[in-house]
Amino acid sequence: MDSFGAAEVMRVDEIAAPVPRKGQVLIEVAATSVNRPDIVQRQGHYPPPPGESEILGLECAGTVVGAGPGVDSPAVGDRVFALVGGGAYAELCVADAALTLPLPADVTFEQAACIAETYITAYLNLFRNAGLADGEIVLLHGGGGGVNTAAIQLVDALCPQSPIIVTASAGKLNRVARLGPDLVIDYTSQDFAVEIGRFTDSCGVDVILDHIGAAYLEQNLEALAIGGRLLIIGIMQGSDAHLSLGRLMIRRQRIIGSVLRPRPKSEKAAIIADFAKTVMPLFAEGRIAPVIDSELPIERVVDAHRRMEAGEHFGKIVLRVGDA
Protein backbone atom coordinates (compact mmCIF):
# COMPACT_ATOMS: atom_id res chain seq x y z
CA MET A 1 0.00 0.00 0.00
CA ASP A 2 1.24 3.48 -0.86
CA SER A 3 -1.61 5.10 1.04
CA PHE A 4 -4.55 4.25 3.28
CA GLY A 5 -8.13 3.89 2.12
CA ALA A 6 -10.46 1.54 0.27
CA ALA A 7 -9.48 -1.92 -0.91
CA GLU A 8 -8.09 -0.51 -4.16
CA VAL A 9 -5.02 0.93 -2.37
CA MET A 10 -3.61 -2.61 -2.24
CA ARG A 11 -1.52 -3.98 -5.08
CA VAL A 12 0.78 -6.92 -5.75
CA ASP A 13 4.41 -5.88 -6.16
CA GLU A 14 7.98 -7.05 -5.61
CA ILE A 15 9.98 -6.10 -2.51
CA ALA A 16 13.22 -7.34 -0.97
CA ALA A 17 12.91 -10.74 0.68
CA PRO A 18 12.74 -10.58 4.49
CA VAL A 19 15.68 -11.92 6.49
CA PRO A 20 15.08 -13.86 9.73
CA ARG A 21 16.71 -12.38 12.81
CA LYS A 22 17.70 -14.13 16.02
CA GLY A 23 14.92 -16.46 17.15
CA GLN A 24 13.02 -16.20 13.86
CA VAL A 25 12.29 -18.51 10.95
CA LEU A 26 11.66 -17.75 7.30
CA ILE A 27 8.46 -19.31 5.93
CA GLU A 28 7.63 -19.91 2.29
CA VAL A 29 3.97 -19.02 2.48
CA ALA A 30 1.41 -21.34 0.92
CA ALA A 31 -1.66 -19.60 2.32
CA THR A 32 -2.73 -16.72 4.52
CA SER A 33 -6.16 -15.35 5.41
CA VAL A 34 -8.04 -12.09 5.77
CA ASN A 35 -8.78 -10.81 9.26
CA ARG A 36 -10.75 -7.76 10.33
CA PRO A 37 -7.59 -6.02 11.67
CA ASP A 38 -6.17 -6.19 8.12
CA ILE A 39 -9.00 -3.97 6.94
CA VAL A 40 -8.61 -1.56 9.87
CA GLN A 41 -4.86 -1.31 9.14
CA ARG A 42 -5.53 -0.74 5.45
CA GLN A 43 -7.84 2.13 6.42
CA GLY A 44 -5.06 3.71 8.47
CA HIS A 45 -6.31 2.99 11.99
CA TYR A 46 -4.20 0.02 13.18
CA PRO A 47 -0.46 0.41 12.57
CA PRO A 48 1.80 -2.61 13.04
CA PRO A 49 3.78 -2.79 16.28
CA PRO A 50 7.30 -1.31 16.12
CA GLY A 51 9.67 -3.53 14.16
CA GLU A 52 6.94 -5.50 12.38
CA SER A 53 6.41 -5.57 8.62
CA GLU A 54 4.22 -2.92 7.03
CA ILE A 55 2.86 -5.64 4.73
CA LEU A 56 -0.61 -6.81 5.74
CA GLY A 57 -1.33 -10.24 7.16
CA LEU A 58 -1.40 -11.63 10.72
CA GLU A 59 -1.13 -15.37 10.09
CA CYS A 60 0.39 -17.69 7.54
CA ALA A 61 0.94 -21.35 6.78
CA GLY A 62 3.75 -22.84 4.73
CA THR A 63 7.18 -24.45 4.83
CA VAL A 64 10.22 -23.31 6.78
CA VAL A 65 13.02 -22.41 4.34
CA GLY A 66 15.43 -20.62 6.65
CA ALA A 67 16.22 -19.69 10.24
CA GLY A 68 18.03 -17.01 12.16
CA PRO A 69 20.55 -17.59 14.96
CA GLY A 70 19.39 -19.52 18.00
CA VAL A 71 16.59 -21.51 16.35
CA ASP A 72 16.60 -25.27 16.88
CA SER A 73 12.94 -25.84 16.08
CA PRO A 74 11.14 -25.68 13.74
CA ALA A 75 13.64 -26.91 11.17
CA VAL A 76 14.00 -26.22 7.47
CA GLY A 77 11.44 -28.33 5.60
CA ASP A 78 8.87 -28.39 8.42
CA ARG A 79 5.22 -27.63 7.60
CA VAL A 80 4.11 -24.91 9.99
CA PHE A 81 1.68 -22.12 10.66
CA ALA A 82 2.47 -18.93 12.53
CA LEU A 83 1.05 -15.88 14.25
CA VAL A 84 2.86 -12.78 12.99
CA GLY A 85 2.69 -9.05 13.60
CA GLY A 86 2.53 -8.39 9.87
CA GLY A 87 3.96 -9.56 6.56
CA ALA A 88 1.84 -12.63 5.82
CA TYR A 89 0.41 -11.35 2.51
CA ALA A 90 3.61 -12.41 0.75
CA GLU A 91 5.55 -15.33 -0.70
CA LEU A 92 8.05 -15.17 2.18
CA CYS A 93 7.33 -14.18 5.77
CA VAL A 94 9.43 -14.11 8.92
CA ALA A 95 7.95 -15.37 12.17
CA ASP A 96 9.19 -15.82 15.71
CA ALA A 97 9.97 -19.49 16.25
CA ALA A 98 8.08 -19.34 19.55
CA LEU A 99 4.95 -18.19 17.70
CA THR A 100 5.19 -20.97 15.11
CA LEU A 101 3.47 -24.34 15.43
CA PRO A 102 3.73 -27.57 13.42
CA LEU A 103 0.87 -28.61 11.18
CA PRO A 104 -0.91 -31.85 12.09
CA ALA A 105 -0.57 -34.33 9.23
CA ASP A 106 -4.15 -34.07 7.99
CA VAL A 107 -4.45 -30.27 8.22
CA THR A 108 -4.02 -28.46 4.89
CA PHE A 109 -2.13 -25.21 4.44
CA GLU A 110 -5.44 -23.49 3.66
CA GLN A 111 -6.96 -24.73 6.91
CA ALA A 112 -3.85 -23.90 8.90
CA ALA A 113 -3.90 -20.33 7.58
CA CYS A 114 -7.19 -19.92 9.47
CA ILE A 115 -6.04 -21.06 12.92
CA ALA A 116 -3.56 -18.66 14.47
CA GLU A 117 -5.44 -15.36 14.63
CA THR A 118 -9.03 -16.50 15.11
CA TYR A 119 -8.79 -19.67 17.19
CA ILE A 120 -6.12 -18.21 19.46
CA THR A 121 -8.19 -15.03 19.90
CA ALA A 122 -11.27 -17.07 20.81
CA TYR A 123 -9.32 -19.36 23.14
CA LEU A 124 -7.46 -16.50 24.83
CA ASN A 125 -10.59 -14.56 25.61
CA LEU A 126 -13.08 -17.28 26.49
CA PHE A 127 -10.81 -19.59 28.45
CA ARG A 128 -7.79 -17.61 29.68
CA ASN A 129 -9.34 -14.16 30.17
CA ALA A 130 -12.91 -15.11 31.11
CA GLY A 131 -12.13 -18.47 32.69
CA LEU A 132 -15.16 -20.10 31.10
CA ALA A 133 -16.28 -23.12 33.13
CA ASP A 134 -18.22 -26.06 31.75
CA GLY A 135 -21.91 -25.39 32.15
CA GLU A 136 -21.70 -21.59 32.00
CA ILE A 137 -23.76 -19.88 29.30
CA VAL A 138 -21.91 -18.12 26.46
CA LEU A 139 -23.09 -15.39 24.08
CA LEU A 140 -21.13 -14.90 20.86
CA HIS A 141 -21.84 -11.90 18.65
CA GLY A 142 -21.56 -12.10 14.87
CA GLY A 143 -21.82 -15.85 14.36
CA GLY A 144 -20.63 -15.87 10.76
CA GLY A 145 -17.20 -14.37 11.42
CA GLY A 146 -13.97 -16.29 11.78
CA VAL A 147 -13.48 -15.70 15.52
CA ASN A 148 -17.01 -16.73 16.37
CA THR A 149 -17.18 -19.80 14.15
CA ALA A 150 -13.96 -20.82 15.93
CA ALA A 151 -15.45 -19.95 19.32
CA ILE A 152 -18.53 -22.12 18.75
CA GLN A 153 -16.27 -25.10 18.05
CA LEU A 154 -13.99 -24.46 21.02
CA VAL A 155 -16.81 -24.08 23.52
CA ASP A 156 -18.51 -27.19 22.18
CA ALA A 157 -15.28 -29.21 22.47
CA LEU A 158 -13.86 -27.88 25.75
CA CYS A 159 -17.09 -27.04 27.64
CA PRO A 160 -19.65 -29.48 26.22
CA GLN A 161 -22.23 -28.66 28.93
CA SER A 162 -22.15 -24.93 28.20
CA PRO A 163 -25.17 -23.58 26.30
CA ILE A 164 -24.11 -21.41 23.34
CA ILE A 165 -26.12 -18.40 22.15
CA VAL A 166 -25.15 -16.66 18.92
CA THR A 167 -26.34 -13.46 17.27
CA ALA A 168 -26.31 -13.32 13.47
CA SER A 169 -27.83 -11.45 10.55
CA ALA A 170 -30.99 -12.79 8.94
CA GLY A 171 -29.12 -14.18 5.94
CA LYS A 172 -26.74 -16.24 8.08
CA LEU A 173 -29.14 -17.69 10.68
CA ASN A 174 -29.47 -21.12 9.07
CA ARG A 175 -25.75 -21.54 8.49
CA VAL A 176 -25.00 -20.54 12.07
CA ALA A 177 -27.65 -22.95 13.33
CA ARG A 178 -25.93 -25.81 11.49
CA LEU A 179 -22.84 -25.22 13.64
CA GLY A 180 -24.85 -26.39 16.63
CA PRO A 181 -25.50 -23.49 19.04
CA ASP A 182 -28.44 -23.78 21.41
CA LEU A 183 -30.03 -20.48 20.36
CA VAL A 184 -29.50 -18.22 17.34
CA ILE A 185 -30.83 -14.66 17.53
CA ASP A 186 -31.46 -12.42 14.52
CA TYR A 187 -29.90 -9.17 15.67
CA THR A 188 -31.51 -7.27 12.78
CA SER A 189 -35.05 -7.89 14.07
CA GLN A 190 -34.74 -9.09 17.67
CA ASP A 191 -33.48 -7.47 20.87
CA PHE A 192 -30.85 -9.99 21.96
CA ALA A 193 -31.06 -8.93 25.63
CA VAL A 194 -34.80 -9.66 25.64
CA GLU A 195 -34.35 -13.03 23.92
CA ILE A 196 -31.60 -14.00 26.34
CA GLY A 197 -33.82 -13.08 29.28
CA ARG A 198 -36.44 -15.48 27.96
CA PHE A 199 -33.93 -18.25 27.30
CA THR A 200 -32.26 -17.97 30.73
CA ASP A 201 -35.35 -17.21 32.86
CA SER A 202 -33.96 -13.70 33.38
CA CYS A 203 -30.67 -15.01 34.83
CA GLY A 204 -28.52 -13.85 31.91
CA VAL A 205 -25.37 -15.28 30.34
CA ASP A 206 -22.06 -15.81 32.08
CA VAL A 207 -19.67 -14.79 29.29
CA ILE A 208 -20.10 -12.53 26.25
CA LEU A 209 -17.58 -12.28 23.41
CA ASP A 210 -18.17 -8.98 21.61
CA HIS A 211 -16.47 -7.16 18.73
CA ILE A 212 -19.17 -4.52 18.20
CA GLY A 213 -18.26 -2.19 21.05
CA ALA A 214 -20.17 0.88 22.19
CA ALA A 215 -23.40 0.19 20.30
CA TYR A 216 -23.91 -3.07 22.22
CA LEU A 217 -22.62 -2.10 25.66
CA GLU A 218 -25.96 -1.39 27.35
CA GLN A 219 -27.63 -4.51 25.93
CA ASN A 220 -24.60 -6.62 26.77
CA LEU A 221 -24.67 -5.59 30.42
CA GLU A 222 -28.41 -6.15 30.55
CA ALA A 223 -27.92 -9.66 29.16
CA LEU A 224 -25.00 -10.44 31.48
CA ALA A 225 -25.59 -12.50 34.62
CA ILE A 226 -24.48 -11.58 38.11
CA GLY A 227 -20.74 -12.17 38.15
CA GLY A 228 -20.69 -12.29 34.35
CA ARG A 229 -17.75 -11.33 32.15
CA LEU A 230 -17.94 -9.18 29.01
CA LEU A 231 -14.97 -9.60 26.65
CA ILE A 232 -14.54 -6.70 24.23
CA ILE A 233 -12.27 -7.63 21.30
CA GLY A 234 -13.39 -5.02 18.77
CA ILE A 235 -15.10 -1.66 18.39
CA MET A 236 -16.74 -1.91 14.98
CA GLN A 237 -19.61 0.32 16.12
CA GLY A 238 -17.94 2.80 18.38
CA SER A 239 -15.54 3.10 21.29
CA ASP A 240 -17.32 5.68 23.49
CA ALA A 241 -20.32 4.61 25.57
CA HIS A 242 -22.16 5.50 28.77
CA LEU A 243 -21.69 3.02 31.60
CA SER A 244 -23.68 2.65 34.82
CA LEU A 245 -21.01 1.89 37.38
CA GLY A 246 -23.62 1.30 40.05
CA ARG A 247 -25.20 -1.59 38.16
CA LEU A 248 -21.76 -2.97 37.36
CA MET A 249 -20.88 -3.00 41.06
CA ILE A 250 -24.17 -4.42 42.30
CA ARG A 251 -24.15 -7.22 39.74
CA ARG A 252 -20.41 -7.86 40.19
CA GLN A 253 -19.87 -7.83 36.45
CA ARG A 254 -16.50 -7.53 34.74
CA ILE A 255 -15.58 -5.84 31.46
CA ILE A 256 -12.34 -7.11 29.95
CA GLY A 257 -10.71 -5.47 26.95
CA SER A 258 -8.33 -7.56 24.91
CA VAL A 259 -6.17 -7.41 21.80
CA LEU A 260 -3.60 -9.96 20.66
CA ARG A 261 -1.27 -8.25 18.19
CA PRO A 262 0.42 -5.60 20.41
CA ARG A 263 1.19 -7.97 23.30
CA PRO A 264 4.84 -8.64 24.14
CA LYS A 265 6.25 -11.63 22.27
CA SER A 266 6.94 -13.45 25.52
CA GLU A 267 3.28 -13.13 26.47
CA LYS A 268 2.11 -14.33 23.07
CA ALA A 269 4.50 -17.26 23.29
CA ALA A 270 2.95 -18.32 26.60
CA ILE A 271 -0.54 -18.08 25.11
CA ILE A 272 0.48 -20.13 22.08
CA ALA A 273 2.16 -22.78 24.23
CA ASP A 274 -1.08 -23.18 26.18
CA PHE A 275 -3.07 -23.25 22.93
CA ALA A 276 -0.75 -25.90 21.47
CA LYS A 277 -1.26 -28.14 24.49
CA THR A 278 -5.02 -27.66 24.86
CA VAL A 279 -6.41 -27.02 21.39
CA MET A 280 -4.05 -28.41 18.75
CA PRO A 281 -4.87 -32.04 19.64
CA LEU A 282 -8.47 -31.26 18.64
CA PHE A 283 -7.28 -30.38 15.12
CA ALA A 284 -5.04 -33.44 14.96
CA GLU A 285 -7.96 -35.68 15.96
CA GLY A 286 -10.30 -34.04 13.43
CA ARG A 287 -12.68 -32.88 16.16
CA ILE A 288 -12.57 -29.29 14.97
CA ALA A 289 -11.74 -27.72 11.61
CA PRO A 290 -11.87 -24.13 10.35
CA VAL A 291 -14.98 -22.96 8.53
CA ILE A 292 -13.69 -21.64 5.20
CA ASP A 293 -15.84 -19.22 3.24
CA SER A 294 -13.71 -19.02 0.12
CA GLU A 295 -10.20 -19.48 -1.24
CA LEU A 296 -8.78 -16.85 -3.59
CA PRO A 297 -5.35 -16.34 -5.13
CA ILE A 298 -3.52 -13.50 -3.43
CA GLU A 299 -3.74 -11.53 -6.68
CA ARG A 300 -7.46 -11.15 -5.83
CA VAL A 301 -6.82 -9.61 -2.42
CA VAL A 302 -8.96 -6.59 -3.31
CA ASP A 303 -11.95 -8.87 -3.92
CA ALA A 304 -11.26 -10.66 -0.65
CA HIS A 305 -11.30 -7.43 1.36
CA ARG A 306 -14.44 -6.23 -0.39
CA ARG A 307 -16.17 -9.50 0.46
CA MET A 308 -15.36 -9.15 4.16
CA GLU A 309 -16.34 -5.49 4.28
CA ALA A 310 -19.68 -6.26 2.63
CA GLY A 311 -20.38 -8.90 5.27
CA GLU A 312 -20.88 -11.54 2.58
CA HIS A 313 -18.48 -14.08 4.07
CA PHE A 314 -19.23 -16.97 6.40
CA GLY A 315 -16.09 -18.19 8.11
CA LYS A 316 -12.61 -17.40 6.88
CA ILE A 317 -11.47 -15.95 3.57
CA VAL A 318 -8.24 -17.67 2.53
CA LEU A 319 -5.60 -16.23 0.21
CA ARG A 320 -3.52 -18.81 -1.66
CA VAL A 321 0.07 -17.79 -2.34
CA GLY A 322 2.25 -19.12 -5.14
CA ASP A 323 1.98 -22.71 -6.34
CA ALA A 324 2.33 -24.42 -2.93
Give the domain CATH number at 296.
3.90.180.10
- Whether residue 50 has pLDDT greater than 70: yes
* Last residue within a domain, chosen from 206, 237, 257: 257
Q: What is the pLDDT of residue 319?
A: 98
Looking at the fold, whether 226 and 150 belong to one and the same domain comes out as: yes
- CB neighbour list of residue 279: distance below 8 Å, 6 or more residues apart: 119, 123, 154, 158, 288
What residue numbers bound the domain in which 148 lies? 118-257
Residue 1 lies in a domain: no
* CA distances in angstroms from 298 to 8, 42, 81, 169, 198, listed in the order given: 14, 16, 17, 28, 46
pLDDT in tens, 105-147: 999 999 999 999 999 999 999 999 999 999 999 999 988 899 9
Residue 214: the pLDDT is: 83
Q: Is the peptide bond before 74 cis (omega within 30 degrees of 0)?
A: yes
- How does pLDDT run across 236-293, given as a tens digit for each residue? 877 888 888 988 999 999 999 999 999 999 999 999 999 999 999 999 999 999 999 9
User: What mean pLDDT do residues 207-213 have?
Assistant: 92
Same domain, 301 and 285: yes
253 and 268: one domain? no
Average pLDDT, the chain: 95
From 219, 240, 257, the end of a domain falls on 257
- Domains identified in the chain, total number: 2
Q: What is the pLDDT of residue 181?
A: 97
Asked whether residue 156 is assigned to any structural domain, the reply reads: yes
Per-residue model confidence (pLDDT) at position 323:
63
Q: Which of 85-89, 116-120, 231-235, 267-271 has the lowest mean pLDDT?
A: 231-235
**In this structure, are 243 and 137 located in the same domain?**
yes
Same domain, 108 and 125: no
Q: Do 53 and 153 share a domain, yes or no? A: no
Burial status of residue 165 (CB atoms within 10 A of its CB: 0-12, 13-18, 19 or more): buried
Q: Is 272 found in the same domain as 253?
A: no
The single-letter DSSP state of residue 114 is: T
Mean pLDDT, rounded, for 171-191? 95
Helix (H, G, I), strand (E, B) or coil at 158: helix
- Same domain assignment for residues 249 and 219: yes
- The answer on 215 and 169 residing in a single domain is yes
